[in-house]
Structure 1
């Protein structure tokens, strides 16, 4: 109960899902464009191979920015509230993404184009760094006891919806304009970026209609320096939770970005762009369904058990993935992408409740966001940068071994953390206030 009236959980769920969908849509269309057109548009002088490496390097910049965004927005999220901070992250992401869509190519403004691109990509990283923790806290702190896993899946579903939307947008744009035609390279790829401005308006409308979480409102003590308190009081949880989530980022970003590039590469899987994009849409749907199912299961069986199970499967699948893709079969490529994102769905679903449950309310936004985005640096930025060199030196199987290594890390870090599904998020004093409101 807040301000004398009950806030429907469906409104909170929609607000968290819509917001993360928009933010991750903006994030993923960059990854898709980085795989398909950015080497040509922003790095033409480097040639195809070096241009692809440079393009993925700009993609990785956002993962470096994400921990910074987690600390920055986590500070305000823990000091002034979840709602206002989430509105700020949404606006920042929307502005940066729209400007990328309007950015002139390297042939028009020279070296300034990739420099500005990197700056805007860094801004995207700041926004996403502050988004996930706030959206997860929004559902977790509103959810009824025993149902946090169920409702905390809504921000997680947003990531898969966003990937599906990005794939659909590029697929339709490419089919209408001809994805090998100069029109697609010149301006067709820009349409998804500019359209994000309209999505931001929708997201703002939804988020402005919710209120601050009852737990934050009733906790009378806030941390003066949330980052300092989080790293001093719970450094073990921050680091172990980051290690636990490396499988999410390594499998997800390799699946959504690197495999898009690998799929269309004649020396890779050798598939057409429409085929790769359709496979991405199917994989996003499957992963979204698994996220919903697994989130509900985590309320019954616990968060750790499901994440560890996904890690165990990931160890084996990482080694099998690229030999399967290298068969050149369209069916094999689609199956590989579906299983890869399916593993992500199983381990990603419980994290929306797991991370908020690990940290105290006074610095929960910062602690959860920092752990999540440190995992993003290790699991999200490193594999795409290493992948081209590993493939050149050892073949594609080396990438699979790298993915398996992240799965092993995730398994043991999760094993070292405590189960949290029965923990109360509010302090005893705040709980008494909540009951009395």
Structure 2
């Protein structure tokens, strides 16, 4: 700290809040939050179009499900403002506990919802409300976890510590999908073990959502043992806490809000293309002369007869992988996501966040231009599978390399007294521009290109260009001093 003599808080913080506990709390909490979020993302492709949006039109049902999925991204900036306000006013620990509890309750209730067959379109409305609650909670979760990790990091290791809350994303994805796979595999399959079970559609899909209650209890136990961030305690002692952090960060740090939003943009688009879009494209029937079970079920639920010829003429093809096959391929890719998330931290600490992200973003731009090289069906199905697996691995490697440094970079753009609000708003505003619309735009571009993915890849490259511009306009944050009194704005107007 800048103070010459240690305070009482300094002398007690270390034994009460050891760094191993900080890492565990940030990792466990974000793992649970992302598990809850991805459980919905998986169901949005596999289950909800049939059970909550049975329009009789496969594409309309999928787009409706993705629209509700995207609605959570709109709620995330609201959560960022609310949780950011209290995180900067009363501390990081309380907001982290509340955000985890909110997400857990909303996810558990999704598992209890009646479907369209029970209460009609009211089911979709209730699903939307709970999805908004999920987004609201995640809007406050990420920044709090990143701040707890980075504000307690040793000198020169902030990016390394910042990768641990980021690691919750790949771990949460793997756990959520493994739960879905296990349940689907364990239930009876009248036709093939590689297809979805009817029992899974009837009730098995609820189990991952209900299971989140167990994970939340574990996460709460870990987080309640934390003490407040030392950086926040020192800002509080210096009288730097703002009554209205949002107003201060907008007035004094609006440029960094904009830069942070666009620095995160390509990361969001890449991730949701690698998860939601590829799952839709990979499991879509390659031969549309045969109706998919999902389309037939949707038509039956809507009380309509199903015309396979009309279906084949209206919809665009995919790769035709079985659900279980493709999710296993995704999980293999996400393992590389986790590995490169961790590897990115020490590299960012060594060469700088900006330099690393510029090179990774250039890689994302090139990757987007190569979609058709990897994702078009080949004469040999085994060759198609190898190319798709290589595509998933490469995409998730880039995802880890770009996502890992964000845990340090975004908080470093803002001083301690508005760091929660600033990083949360930038992170979650980017979710609207990237994650909220990415699945919808991808489906539309997929259809516009006649079933080929090249326009989807071009969209990713365009978002990468915007991120590259933001990085070139930004400054390196590796050597930002979290304890710099000047950065706190001490002595500025107290009402702000």
Selected match of 1:37 from 47, 56, 59: 47
Distance 1:331 1:114 in 2: 38
State the 1:283 CA deviation: 1.2
Unaligned runs of 5+ in 2: 1-9, 190-194, 286-316, 379-383, 489-496
Distance 1:295 1:194 in 2: 34
For 2:209, what is the secondary structure of its paired residue?
Answer: helix
State the 1:2 CA deviation: 5.7
Cα distance, 1:143–1:212 mapped onto 2, change above 3 Å: same
Distance 1:144 1:292 in 2: 16
Selected match of 1:294 from 337, 341, 344: 344
CA RMSD of aligned residues (A): 1.4
Distance 2:13 2:426 in 1: 35
Mapped contact 1:31–1:59 kept (Cα < 8 A): yes
State the 1:322 CA deviation: 4.0
Selected match of 2:428 from 373, 385, 389: 373
Mapped contact 1:318–1:403 kept (Cα < 8 A): yes
Selected match of 1:421 from 472, 478, 482: 478
Mapped contact 1:247–1:344 kept (Cα < 8 A): no
Instruction: Kindly provide the CA deviation profile for residues 379-416 of structure 1, in whole angstroms up to 9, marking residues without a partner as x.
Output: 11122111222122224211110000111111110111
Selected match of 1:236 from 255, 268, 274: 255
Distance 1:61 1:428 in 2: 39
Select the structure of larger CA radius of gyration. Answer: 2
Cα distance, 1:2–1:371 mapped onto 2, change above 3 Å: farther
Cα distance, 1:430–1:68 mapped onto 2, change above 3 Å: closer
Mapped contact 2:32–2:219 kept (Cα < 8 A): yes
Question: Which residue in the other structure is 1:434 paired with?
Answer: none
Distance 1:384 1:429 in 2: 43
- Aligned positions of 1:272-283 closer than 5 A: 272-283=322-333
State the 1:180 CA deviation: 2.4
2:453 paired with 1:396: yes
How many residue pairs align between the two structures?
Answer: 431
2:105 paired with 1:65: no
Mapped contact 2:353–2:477 kept (Cα < 8 A): yes
| Deviation >6 Å, runs of 4+ | none
Distance 2:357 2:13 in 1: 38
Instruction: Kindly provide the CA deviation profile for residues 53-92 of structure 1, in whole angstroms up to 9, marking residues without a partner as x.
Output: 1011111001111111100100000000000000000000
Is the deviation greater in 333-342 or in 127-136?
333-342
Distance 1:169 1:68 in 2: 30
Distance 1:165 1:117 in 2: 22
Question: Which residue in the other structure is 1:10 paired with?
Answer: 20
- Aligned positions of 1:53-92 closer than 5 A: 53-92=63-102
Mapped contact 1:65–1:125 kept (Cα < 8 A): yes
Normalised to the residue count of structure 2, the TM-score between the two structures is 0.85
Question: Which residue in the other structure is 2:304 paired with?
Answer: none
Cα distance, 1:427–1:392 mapped onto 2, change above 3 Å: same
2:409 paired with 1:409: no
Query: More helix per residue: 1 or 2?
Result: 1
Distance 2:266 2:94 in 1: 31
